[in-house]
Each structure stands twice: as structure tokens, then as C-alpha cells.
Amino acid sequence: MEATGTWALLLALLLLLTLALSGTRARGHLPPGPTPLPLLGNLLQLRPGALYSGLMREEQNPDTEFTNKNMLMTVIYLLFAGTMTVSATVGYTLLLLMKYPHVQKRVREELNRELGAGQAPSLGDRTRLPYTDAVLHEAQRLLALVPMGIPRTLMRTTHFRGYTLPQGTEVFP
């Protein structure tokens, strides 16, 4: 009985949100196109069978790019890319902790205090470990894992290789 009530409440909320969005469209705040549905996005407009039928058509095409070899290599590239980014992030974080032993000590103390010695943290422990969470976020912020050459603005005047770079200067990493 509770599941039925939950679904009814969810559907009522979605209906209210859809009605609210259709009102903003009438006032001209949204661009033309399909009405966006919060939380669902375009999920209702997807056709699950379209992918399968498209792949079946491609199987009959002798010039297809969807060969077993190409599909396998694509999956391998994706796995390799994911593995490399995670291992680079973990390695960089460990290097930072070695460079700043006082930070490493404080993280270890927080882990021991909140979880107990030798306990592995889980995602559910994140709210109990604010310092550790901040250290991990800072390490990810500092690591330019994907060098995109996006300009950054200096927060303070910096001296670099004999040059003075004033605050507000745009630099390209």
C-alpha cells in the first residue's frame, strides 16, 4: 500500500512541475521545442527498440563501422581511459599527502576518530569526514588531469621564474 502512495505522490509532483513549466513556456521564458520534464528529461521520448533495430540494420551493411573489432577496441579504450584517470588521481593525491605530512596526519586522525583504526571508509561516511572530503576535493581541483588549456585567473600577485604576474592576470596552464 505504501508503494502505491509513493507512486501517486511522485506522479502528482511530476504533473505539477509539468503544469508549472508549461505556464512559463506560455509566458515566453523557454525556447520552442518539447516540454522539458524535470527529473525525467527526455526519457519518455526515447525509443528503446530504436538502438537494437539500428544495430541490426548496420549488421547487414558491408561498409559498417560497427564491426566486432571496432566495438571491442572502443570498450578497451574506454576502460583504459577510466583506469588511467582514476589511477592518476589516486597517485597524485598520495603524492600530495607525502609532500604535506601534517595534512596526512590530520586525515589519519579523523579517520581513526570517526571510523576506528583499520576501518575502511565508505561513501556513507563522507558527512562524518569533512576534512578528508575537503582534502580529496582539493587534490582533484589542483590536478589538471585533462590539460584543456583553459585560461585561469591569478588570485594574487605571483612571482614565477623571475617574472611578476599581477593579481587578475589570465594564465594558460
- Distance (Å, whole) CA 135 – CA 141: 10
- Distance (Å, whole) CA 100 – CA 49: 54
Mean of the per-residue pLDDT values for the chain? 80
Return the minimum-mean-pLDDT range out of 84-88, 93-97, 122-126, 147-151: 147-151
Q: Could you report the per-residue pLDDT of 32-66, keeping only the tens digit for each?
A: 665 555 556 666 666 777 777 887 888 788 888 77
Q: Coil, strand or helix: which one is 117?
A: coil
Amino acid at 68: N
What sign does the CA torsion over 94, 99, 103, 106 have? Answer: positive
Q: Could you report the per-residue pLDDT of 10-25, keeping only the tens digit for each?
A: 777 776 666 666 654 4
Cell reading at 6: 509513493
Q: How many Cβ atoms sit within 10 Å of the Cβ of residue 88? A: 12
DSSP state of 32: S
pTM here?
0.48
- Distance (Å, whole) CA 81 – CA 39: 29
